[in-house]
Amino acid sequence: MADASKVALVTGASSGIGRATARAFLDHGYAVVLVDRDETAGLATEQAFRAAGECIFLPCDVSDEQAVETMMARAVSAYGRIDAAFNGAGIDGGFTPTADCTVETWDRIMSVNLRGLWLCLRLEIRQMLSQGGGAIVNCSSGAGLAGVPGLSAYSASKHGVIGLTRTAALDYARHNIRINAVCPGMIDTPMWQRSIPPEVTEQLLINDPIGRLGQASEIAAAVLWLCDPAASFVTGQALAVDGGKSAG
């Protein structure tokens, strides 16, 4: 077992917000377990990050109960504990009016964004109970705070993440485990670039308070703070990191 004083586990660590958050944990002295279903990108991330600190990539589809159990056992056997966790793995699903969303799309989005997050969350909590505490951040979205036309399944899954976060926070507030959510606004990641054409981004930014896309590192900074003892009295919150979008 590697000797690590602080250990973080990040799902969705091969790309975008998860990758930036994993890097921020590394830069703050954590050993980091990088989890993603994309094995090629995950191994490349591990290789790229190795010079910055202790990390290991574990391939896992978070919607697969058995795979999550195996991954979590390997993570604990590698580093002995999990002090901080960021549940960032998520998928979108294209824009479709609510009545036209297929059952297949609905189930796929829910299985990763909500069920998959919960599968990870419950094992992180069990590990933290056994070691005496920890902090967890779940990735919701601006679409978890308000409806977005065409994104019924995604928005429902991200609203669900906030309900799950609040409930889990109450369940474990007296066990030294803090559980919060971040709600990123429009963030310039591969997911954003895949889903939103540049001309639509331009249009969206016209009425946006801050007038630019956020960077993945700006979400990572919020996650790091929520996991830090500096946030020791913060639990059960859904923190919008969105350049003011949800304020209007």
Ligand X SMILES: NC(=O)c1ccc[n+]([C@@H]2O[C@H](COP(=O)([O-])OP(=O)(O)OC[C@H]3O[C@@H](n4cnc5c(N)ncnc54)[C@H](O)[C@@H]3O)[C@@H](O)[C@H]2O)c1
- Is 79 catalytic? The answer is no
Pick from 32, 187, 227, 231 the residue near ligand X by CB under 6 A. 187
Q: To 5 degrees, how large is the angle CA 229–CA 233–CA 238?
A: 100
Q: Are strands 7-11 and 55-59 parallel, antiparallel or unpaired?
A: unpaired
The answer to the question of residue 236 lying near ligand X (CB under 6 A) is no
- Contacting residues for 182 by C-beta, under 8 A, at least 6 apart: 137, 138, 139, 140, 219, 222, 223, 226, 238, 239, 241
Distances (CA, A) of 160 to 23, 77, 120, 123, 146: 27, 31, 15, 18, 12
134 binds ligand X (CB under 6 A): no
Site string for ligand X, 60-89 (x = CB under 6 A): xxxx------------------------xx
Cβ-in-10-Å burial (0-12, 13-18, 19+) of 3 comes to exposed
Distance CA 167, CA 179 (A): 9
The interface region with ligand X, picked from 10-18, 25-33, 47-55, 168-176 by CB under 6 A, is 10-18
Residue 16 interacts with ligand X (CB under 6 A)?
yes
**Which one of residues 139, 153, 220, 241 is an interface residue with ligand X (CB under 6 A)?**
139
- List the x/- string, 85-124, binding to ligand X by CB under 6 A: ---xxxx--------------------x---x--------
- Single-letter amino acid, residue 206: I
Of the two residues 109 and 128, which places its CB atom closer to ligand X in the complex?
A: 109
Residues contributing to the site for ligand X (CB under 6 A): 11-12, 14-18, 36-38, 60-63, 88-91, 112, 116, 139, 141-142, 184, 186-187, 189-192
Catalytic residues: 154
